[in-house]
Structure 1
Amino acid sequence: MTLAGIRRSDRRISPVFLGIVAVTAVAGWAVWAGFGGSTGFAVFLFVTGAWVVSLCLHEYAHARTALHSGDISIGAKGYLTLNPLKYTHALLSIVLPLLFVIMGGIGLPGGAVFIERGRIRGRWRHSLISAAGPLTNLLFALVCTAPFWLDALDGVPDPFRYALGFLALLQVTAALLNSLPVPGLDGYGVIEPWLSREIRRQLEPFAQFGLIAVFGLLWVPEINDAFFDLVDTILRALGVEEWDSYWGRELYRFWQGEPDIPQLAG
């Protein structure tokens, strides 16, 4: 399946998405240049904008993979325009993930685009559609951390470096959490086609509570510690130290006041 059967208007990038990208770019420049009276507010706009962009790309990856797997209804639904207002659950896809970032600095995944699974043949295709979202978050994390693992941080202002570190943390947490085999999350969508019809029927009622259950489990100290130890291990492998993501989060919370960040040695 290609884009040949999709109307041009159904795949034209939305002005809403372009506006979000523009705000993110301007905020990123403000963080880099130290423009304005509040670095924290610029970091907030930059990270929030980039986070919304990643959410749009996450959902786009699901939709585009579904299109090429046989669901030609994707175009008419507006999912190929990258417009977050076209999602079936804007609250779950955009609003709740933003609230989780603001409240706890956690990249909790949202959902979702509606895919007509009956149009798609083959279990591997169904699994790939679900896997496309978390893989997009991982790719976004690689892009965010490129200056770190390429050892190209010379000349990068500290606030911009910290903002990238915090944004990378959000992407890694989103990828990990959304990969869990919990009903309602993409990880379950990957394995669902391989389960028996009876098991799928029994687990289906729990899909609407999966996201809430994951968030609740993260309040358990032991689980929270183990999870963020894994996140820190992945970030360190990408060259991002805990120092970077920590101060990025502190800057992001501009409403708490501008943090007094110690200078990096050397």
Structure 2
Amino acid sequence: MEIIPWIQRLIIVLPVLLIAITFHELAHGYTAYRFGDPTAKSQGRLTLNPIKHLDALGTITLIVTQIIGWAKPVPVDYRYFANPKRDMMWVAIAGPAANFIMACIFALIFHAMKDMQVSEGLYPVVYPLFLMVQAGVLVNVALGIFNLIPVPPLDGGRILTSLLPDHLAYQYARLEPYGIFIVLALLFLGLTQQVIWPLIQTVLLILGVRL
């Protein structure tokens, strides 16, 4: 790995990574709050301050891969919910949904800048912002898809747990303490190349964004 190009890419990607993580976790916390759980608000997690949401290992993974990673989970107390199983599903969905919405917003800005024929030669000052917007599409799509992996504690695992019958949901939820190790093992075995990256490319194609 060449250090200088990697640092240049990191400078472009890091701001949109922080935006993606922040809105992902804020969406979880705000949805839980709307369903009656004040826990995230009382712990200062309903904020646009990215530092409040960063997880050490997840942040390192994001910096190294510049595509995937995770944040510190927003605390949710399902006892406040009128229908815990159903409401937890919507809380879980909110995070990836926020990333896909952000991806669409970045894609709109990307196409607007592209129509203005922003290029490195014509707009040397604006061009890094164009690259940042392009990265914003990729990062949000990747983060949304990654978090839909159906293994707890990722959002996909919690969505699946909410959809399973109670006795199966209880058994599946017990995987949560080991979930992140399962996910890392799946990534090591090629989940990124075989499943996640093709899905990312498909969504980028739909959004009309080429890397």
Task: Specify the TM-score bucket, using the shorter chain as the normaliser.
Answer: 0.7 to 0.9
Q: Is 1:219–2:188 an aligned residue pair? A: yes
Q: Is 1:64–2:64 an aligned residue pair? A: no
| Count of residue pairs the alignment pairs up | 200
Post-superposition shift, 1:121?
A: 1.3
1:71·1:115 contact (CA, 8 Å) conserved in 2? yes
In 2, Cα distance between equivalents of 1:114 and 1:126: 12
When the two structures are superposed, what TM-score results if normalisation uses the length of structure 1? 0.65
In 2, Cα distance between equivalents of 1:149 and 1:215: 35
| Corresponding residue number in structure 2 for 1:200 | 169
- Over 3 Å counting, the alpha-carbon distance change for 1:172 and 1:211 in structure 2 is farther
| Corresponding residue number in structure 2 for 1:154 | 116
- Over 3 Å counting, the alpha-carbon distance change for 1:148 and 1:167 in structure 2 is closer
| Corresponding residue number in structure 2 for 1:125 | 87
1:43·1:163 contact (CA, 8 Å) conserved in 2? no
The residue type paired with residue 80 of structure 2 is R
- Over 3 Å counting, the alpha-carbon distance change for 1:97 and 1:170 in structure 2 is farther
2:16·2:139 contact (CA, 8 Å) conserved in 1? no
In 2, Cα distance between equivalents of 1:84 and 1:192: 28
2:58 to 80, 93, 97: 97
In 2, Cα distance between equivalents of 1:219 and 1:201: 27
Indicate the SS of the match to 1:218: helix
Post-superposition shift, 1:176?
A: 0.9
User: Which runs of no fewer than 5 residues in structure 1 stay unpaired?
Assistant: 1-37, 245-266
2:149·2:156 contact (CA, 8 Å) conserved in 1? yes
1:184·1:211 contact (CA, 8 Å) conserved in 2? yes
1:48·1:98 contact (CA, 8 Å) conserved in 2? no
Matched-pair identity in %: 24
Post-superposition shift, 1:186?
A: 0.7
- Over 3 Å counting, the alpha-carbon distance change for 1:81 and 1:222 in structure 2 is closer
Q: Is 1:145–2:117 an aligned residue pair? A: no
Post-superposition shift, 1:157?
A: 3.3
Provide the aligned C-alpha RMSD in A: 2.6
- Find the structure with the greater CA-based Rg: 1
| Corresponding residue number in structure 2 for 1:135 | 97
